[in-house]
Amino acid sequence: MKRNVFSLVVAGALMVACLSGCGSSSSKTAAASAAAGSAGASSSASAIKIGGIGPLTGSAATYGIATKNGAEIAVSEINAKGGLQFELNFQDDEADSEKGVNAYNKLKDWGMQVLYGCTTTGSCVAVAAESNSDRYFQITPSASSPDVTSGHDNVFQVCFTDPNQGKTAADYVAEKGLAKKVAVLYNNGDAYSTGIATAFASEAAAKGLSVVSNTTFPDDSNTDFSVQLNDAKSNGAELVFMPIYYTPASLVLAQAKSMGYAPMFFGGDGMDGILTLEGFDTSLAEGLMLMTPFNASSTDEQTAAFVKAYQTAYSETPNQFAADGYDAIYAIYDACQKAGITADMDHSDICDKMIAAFTDSAFSVDGLTGAGMTWSTSGEVSKAPKVVKVQSGAYSNMD
């Protein structure tokens, strides 16, 4: 069933327990780092202990903070219902695999029973190997590579996978007739970016699109994209597909404008948040299209209530990562209810019951990022990506 967000309860609780509320992005990061332990949940001995992992500091902190904030809102709502209670302890991994494993071990020592995370793919792959061996149920809100779940029956995803996103993007471009000549620009040092780009290029060719430029850059600290943009421009690319995060994307858009190159730009879900990037001129993103399962501008009751609660608690508009985090906690809650899980159960018993619940054909979750979400035995979620377009500094649904 659809969620009813208890805005006043959530706002009151989170204004006290908020880890990354008001202020600049740097102050949010510092606050989150300082309070990376248990927050926003019941501290009762009868609460199920959920361990969370993601970057609260470092270059990817925006994503970790968002998934954490979304999860906190869900936990506060669930605990306000009475009955089954959750306690969330979220640890910082700085989007680093080794630190992710260290955070995981801290959570084990704390008494974790279910693992929520990791936020980023690299850390999630490393931690998944550990959680599988130790038999902890793990669900990630945003790590989208198939490597996260491969060989791990205990690991499930809320976000759609990289290959699915790349294929769907190419299908959309072809079916809507957006372009015939396309360029692909991606980060070859990032599994997320590479996975989407590879699938997009393959499907684009199968759909009769001409990939006239396929260029890369080494990491998200890259600041000069003139070579890549000139290659796309000289080869007549009408659309540039760039499955990259919004920080490098903001530089690409600025440099394209400075060189007088104005193709259609199309991004993946990692670009969600570009409109709130500090210091970014949002007019540069006018016409940008991206795939995301969540649109904070939507007027549907569930989304509007969540956005209101999030803005009250954190003084900012939630992005897709926050919505995925919210949905992940509710997926845990619904599965616990279905499986009859209680706080006195051993983590390995909980793991077995959660796997059975998630893979039951009758189990589905209605969330912010998809209605009727179901999961395969491989841990992959089934839900349809959506395409939005930036118009007048806001997202507009394309379909």
Q: Is the pTM of this model over 0.85?
A: no
Model pLDDT, residue 383: 83
Fold exhibited by the domain 162-292: Rossmann fold (3.40.50)
Query: Is the previous residue joined to 118 through a cis bond, with omega within 30 degrees of 0?
Result: yes
What does the alpha-carbon distance between residue 90 and residue 80 come to, in Å, rounded to a whole number? 20
- What confidence tens digit (pLDDT) does each residue in 332-381 have? 999 999 999 999 999 999 999 999 999 999 999 999 998 899 999 999 99
**CA gap 284, 65 in Å, rounded:** 25
- The domain locations on the chain are 7-160+299-382, 162-292
Is residue 5 exposed (0-12), middle (13-18) or buried (19+ Cβ within 10 Å)?
Answer: buried
Q: Please state the separation of Cα 325 from the chain's center in Å.
A: 7
Domain 7-160+299-382 and domain 162-292 have a common topology: yes
**What average pLDDT does the segment 100-121 reach?**
97
DSSP 8-state symbol, 238: S
Q: Residue 148: pLDDT above 50?
A: yes
Question: Which positions ≥6 away from 76 have C-beta within 8 Å?
Answer: 6, 9, 10, 13, 14, 40, 41
Nearest to 369 by CA among 141, 193, 173, 200: 141
What pLDDT, in 10s, does the model give residues 63-102? Answer: 999 999 999 999 999 999 999 999 999 999 999 999 999 9
Read off φ and ψ for residue 165, nearest 5 degrees: -65, -45
Q: What is the 3-state secondary structure (H, E, C) of 94-119?
A: CCCHHHHHHHHHHHHHHCCCEEEECC
* CATH topology for the 7-160+299-382 domain: Rossmann fold (3.40.50)
For residues 354 and 98, give the distance between their C-alpha atoms in angstroms, rounded to a whole number: 27
pLDDT in tens, 8-33: 444 444 443 433 333 333 333 333 33
The answer to whether residues 69 and 17 touch, using CB atoms and an 8 Å cutoff, is no
Q: What is the pLDDT of residues 30-65, one digit of tens each?
A: 333 333 444 444 445 699 999 999 999 998 999 999
